Amino acid sequence: MIERLERLYDKEDSKSALEKIKKLEERYKALIKSSPYEMSEKDVILITYGDQVVKPSEEPLVTLKHFLDQYIKGIINTVHILPFYPYSSDDGFSVIDYKDVSPRMGSWKDIESLRENYRLMFDGVINHISQYSFWFKSFLANDEKYANFFTEVDPSVDLSQVVRPRTLPLVHEFEDEELKTRYIWTTFSKDQVDLNFANYKVLIAVLDALLFYIQKGATLIRLDAIAFVWKEIGTNCIHLPQTHELIQLMREVIHKIAPEVIIITETNVPHDENISYFGSGEDEAQMVYNFALPPLVAHSILKADCKAMTKWASSLRLPSDKVCFFNFTASHDGCGVRPVSGLISDEALNDLVQSVENHGGFVSYRSTNDNQKTPYELNASYIDIISNPNEDRRIRVKKMMLCQAVSLAMPGVPGVYFHSLVGSVSDVEGVKRTGVLRSINREKLNYDILTEALSEVGDLREMIYQNFKHFLSIRKCEKAFNPYSEFSFLDLDDSLFCIRRVSPDKKEEILAIHNFADSALIFMLPDFVSDGAYDLIKNEKIVDKTIEIEPYQVIWIKQTKEKND
């Protein structure tokens, strides 16, 4: 621990930091009851806001629990509650108080009640904090305790090397209590003021918050925007060695108290950079967001061509059997396109951008180092990214479920966004109200209206939810879908995306075949598929090695090996 600290701080500060870390460990060991947990095929994570569904005169977190218990209990076992802390902007990602629950959502009692039926994932929004937080207000008040909690920058300093995720200014002006202008580092917006981890006291304060989350029931911690967390003028300020050292240090502290806690890093960057957060496979994130998957799936369905996705997937490697990918197609953010840099051509990316705009969606941009604008993310509901809103509803459902099935079959743990589960389309009116493009996929839903749609046969929401329920009910029972099971990818046809999964005991395997073409295909099953195999989706035996697969159809072929094989 002291060696880690001394790679970040001088000897005196490292010694002080170690003493404070030991005190944190002593305090939280008495408060946290650790219990071993090993992830399995049963693990699926629902991504949702705390106020995702609302009822008049009821706390949103209470309403959310009612909905979850009615619609996902038994098929999804883990809930990622997006930032439910008091906040000032960005739908929760500008946190005012790390240790409180927004009174607009409920209380810690409501959060803890969710633990009865679900494992919980909390956000560590630790790159930045709200300008209205006590920490930043105290900093501007020149409170010595919060001195150097934030990064001040001389406005004449050249910051052109810094990687920018937004087109907004990197530095904003603030006036302190003495009416002095302070120039503060703000990676994402003026309301999201970056913390200064070069001050060891910031590390201690953040560790305290993360351990508090575990005390309150979090068994998974998502480190938001963690790639930007360490600032070093004269560098690009992304993926710095100090950033990886910080994550490893945080994991070491957390695992001394609760070794079952999973650390997930959120780094919406090109794939090779993203997977660096696995570290050695033993010391950093246990899961990383598989950010290349959503745009690659969208590209594949737009082109009816899986070559790029199959090539990328075939290159996937993990540094150990203790880490895995967090697979998803949609989240509260847009569909990031930086992760497919080098995986698809610029022309193909432009086609994807144009397609989303044709479907009524939007595109967000970022600034490059030469002050050029380049696409950063696609803003639309996922069903509107991969299908035209004017298409036949049945085709839309087939396309949507094809994409979700890929995410469910990929090696790792799947994450399902609430709006994907219930078949939400783009909320264009939300963008008009807020002026924020990401609002298009963050609509808060009326509980009664939503549940009525989910019960109406033939409604888009009902069709997608029922399909999801079917896929999830199958997946959780199959050992071959264990997050750490063996995987490989087959090239049976340019329009087919094929994943082979083998259970940890080698006794079961699944060949997941996904047709991205708008026409039926006939192909031969590989030789390793034996007699007795059957399709899990249709629950019928495979009787012929020559298979006809319908447009956008999914076939999950399971076979069981005899014990004496």
3-class secondary-structure state, position 146: helix
Q: Do residues 290 and 271 lie in contact, with contact meaning Cβ atoms separated by under 8 Å?
A: no
**Of 320, 257, 325, nearest to 293 (Cα)?**
325
Of 215, 240, 221, the closest CA to residue 229 belongs to 240
- From its phi and psi, is residue 179 left (phi > 0), alpha (psi between -120 and 50) or beta? left
Looking at the DSSP assignment, which residues form a beta bridge with residue 184? 152, 172
Phi-psi region for residue 540, left (φ > 0), alpha (ψ -120 to 50) or beta? beta
Give 237's contacts (C-beta < 8 A, 6+ positions apart): 161, 162, 163, 228, 230, 231
Residue 565: DSSP 8-state:
-
**Angle formed by the axes of helices 241-257 and 11-29, nearest 10°:** 30
Q: Which two tokens stand for residue 325?
A: 């990918």
In degrees, to the nearest 5, what angle opens at C-alpha 177 toward C-alphas 175 and 181?
Answer: 25
Two structure tokens written together for 435 = 């002026």
Residue 313, token pair as written in the block: 């997937």
Q: Do residues 281 and 322 make contact, with C-beta atoms less than 8 angstroms apart?
A: yes
Name the one residue in this structure whose structure tokens are 């002026």.
435
HSE value, Cβ hemisphere, 13 Å, CA-based, for 402: 32
Across the strands, what pairs with 509? 502, 559
Q: Which residues make Cβ contacts (< 8 Å) with residue 96, sequence separation at least 6?
A: 85, 86, 87, 88, 129, 130, 132, 133, 134
The stretches of 410-520 forming alpha helices (DSSP H) are 418-421, 428-434, 447-455, 460-475
| 176 is annotated as an active-site residue | no
SS (H, E, C) 299-345: HHHHHCCCHHHHHHHHCCCCCCCCCEEEECCCCCCCEECHHHECCEC
How many Cα neighbours within 13 Å face the side chain of 311?
Answer: 11
Enumerate the β-bridge partners of residue 523: 547
CB 260 within 8 A of CB 35: yes
What whole-number distance in Å separates Cα of residue 257 and Cα of residue 67?
33
Q: Are 123 and 222 in contact (CB under 8 A)?
A: yes
Q: Which of 90, 194, 224, 493 is catalytic?
A: 224
Q: Is 418 exposed, middle or buried (0-12, 13-18, 19+ CB in 10 A)?
A: buried
CA atoms within 13 A on the CB side of 233: 13
Whole-angstrom Cα distance, residue 225 to residue 133? 19
First vs last C-alpha separation in the chain: 48
Longest dimension (CA), the chain: 81
Active-site positions read 224
